[in-house]
């Protein structure tokens, strides 16, 4: 039993990512979408919290959204995986529930 958490806002603009990371259970997954992808950029204030979360959770980025914001795959915190919309669907299916941190 695990949860897919989606975060669609920049962690600099909203507390959603921080709240999300504070409520993860081991085995959960976090998918960064829309402005949420800003968290994935390496060297940002949110790199450490994401790295800590990846100890027992997975972190994904929706690649059409990171591309739109000029964040290349090489610009991201290492360990983060990218998915497209089809991969987003697969993640929803694979986890027992989806929680959107709006």
C-alpha to C-alpha distance for 49 and 20, rounded to whole angstroms: 11
Q: Which of 60, 65, 73, 74 binds another protein (CB under 8 A)?
A: 65
Residue 52 interaction partner, one of another protein, a copy of itself, none, beta carbon < 5-8 Å per kind:
none
* Contact call for residue 78 and another protein (CB under 8 A): no
Q: Which of 3, 14, 47, 64 binds a copy of itself (CB under 8 A)?
A: 14
Residue ranges that bind another protein, judged by CB under 8 A: 1, 3, 6, 8-10, 12-13, 15-16, 19, 22-25, 28, 33-35, 38, 41-45, 47, 62-65, 67-72, 84-86, 88-90, 92-93, 97-102
């Amino acid at each position: 039993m695990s949860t897919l958490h989606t975060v669609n806002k920049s962690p600099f603009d909203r507390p959603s990512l921080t709240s999300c990371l504070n409520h993860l259970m081991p085995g959960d997954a976090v998918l960064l979408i829309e402005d949420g992808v800003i968290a994935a950029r390496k060297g940002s204030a949110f790199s450490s919290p994401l790295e800590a979360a990846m100890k027992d959770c997975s972190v994904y980025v929706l690649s059409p959204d990171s591309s739109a914001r000029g964040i290349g795959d090489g610009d991201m915190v290492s360990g983060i995986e990218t998915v497209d919309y089809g991969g987003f669907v697969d993640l929803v299916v694979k986890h027992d529930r989806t929680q959107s941190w709006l």
